[in-house]
Amino acid sequence: EPEVTQTPSHQVTQMGQEVILRCVPISNHLYFYWYRQILGQKVEFLVSFYNNEISEKSEIFDDQFSVERPDGSNFTLKIRSTKLEDSAMYFCASSTTGGPQHFGDGTRLSIL
Amino acid sequence: EDKVVQSPLSLVVHEGDTVTLNCSYEVTNFRSLLWYKQEKKAPTFLFMLTSSGIEKKSGRLSSILDKKELFSILNITATQTGDSAVYLCAVESGGSNYKLTFGKGTLLTVNP
C-alpha cells in the first residue's frame, strides 16, 4: 500500500540553525500538509499546500517557516532559525480531493 | 476557534471487553470527521465520516457520526492487546483547505 515517507526520522540541531524536513507524499495525491506534535500535546496544523502554493497556514507558521515542492515528488518544510520551542514531532500528510489525509511516520526534531 | 474534545482521556480494559470512545466538536464549515489510531509514530487512518447516522465498520471497529448533536463515537468490540494505542479524533473544516483539528486523544490500554 502506498505510504507517505519522511526523512530523517530524527534530527538534532543547535538553536539558531536552519533545518529542512523532507517528505515524499503518496504519488497521486494533490494536497500536502505539515502538522506538529509537541510531546504530550495535541497534533497541530501548520500549513496546507495545493497547486504549488500555500492554501492555509496557522498562527504557528510564522516567517521562520517555509514550504516547497522542489520537484514532482518531494515536499519540504524549512525552519530558518530554530528555537528551543520548535522541538516536536513533525508529521507530513497528503490526500486526494475529498479523501482522508494519510500521515508519514514523522521527524522528531530536537533543538539543543 | 475550532474545538474537538475527546473522552475519556484514558481507559484501561481487559481483553474481550467492548469500549466506546467519544468525540464532540465545534467547528465552522464542517466537512468530515476522521478517526486515527496512533501507536508509536504516524496516525493511521481508520474512518472518515461525512453523513449522520451511517455506521462505518471495519472488523471489530465501527463508528458513527451525529451532525445534529455534533459528536461521534468509535466502538471496539472484543478488544485485543494489539488495540492498545492512542485514538485520535480529527475534524476537517474550511473551504477548500481541508485542514484537520485534532482532539487530545484517548489512550486505550488493553490488558491480557
pLDDT (tens digit per residue) in B40-99: 888 999 999 999 999 999 999 999 999 999 999 999 999 999 999 999 999 998 765 688
Contact assessment for residue B75 and residue B13, using Cβ atoms and an 8 Å cutoff? no
Three-state SS for B51? coil
Amino acid identity at A24: V
Of B45, B97, B104, the CB nearest to A100: B45
Nearest to A6 by CA among A18, A24, A31, A20: A24
| Burial per residue of B59-69, b for 16 or more beta-carbon CB atoms within 10 angstroms, e otherwise | eebebbbeeee
Q: What is the pLDDT of residue B40?
A: 82
A63-110 residue pLDDT tens: 999 999 988 789 999 999 999 999 999 999 999 988 899 999 999 999
Amino acid identity at A21: L
Q: Is residue A2 pLDDT above 80, yes or no?
A: no
Q: What is the pLDDT of residue B29?
A: 86
Q: Spell out which residues of chain A touch residue B101, defining contact as CB-CB under 8 Å.
A: 45
Distance CA A30, CA A24 (A): 12
Best A103, A107, A108 residue to mutate vs chain B (most B CBs within 10 Å) = A103
How close does chain B come to A98, measured CA to CA in Å? 8
- Can you read off the three cell numbers belonging to residue B60? 471489530
Q: What is the pLDDT of residue A72?
A: 76
DSSP letters of A59-84? TT--TTEEEE--SSS-EEEEESS--G
Give the mean pLDDT of B35-40: 94
Q: What is the pLDDT of residue A98?
A: 83
Distance CA A15, CA B42 (A): 26
Sheet harboring A5-7: ordered strands across? A5-7, A19-24, A75-79, A65-68
Contact B45 A104 (CB under 8 A): no
Nearest to B21 by CA among B42, B44, B13, A100: B13
**Ramachandran class of A28: left when φ > 0, alpha when ψ lies in -120 to 50, beta otherwise:** alpha
- Does A107 reach chain B within 8 Å, measured CB to CB? no
Give the mean pLDDT of B35-44: 92
Q: What is the pLDDT of residue B97?
A: 65
Q: What is the pLDDT of residue B96?
A: 59
Contact B88 A43 (CB under 8 A): yes
Nearest to A61 by CA among A51, A48, A70, A71: A48
Q: What is the pLDDT of residue B41?
A: 82
Contact assessment for residue A20 and residue A76, using Cβ atoms and an 8 Å cutoff? yes
Give the mean pLDDT of A15-27: 96
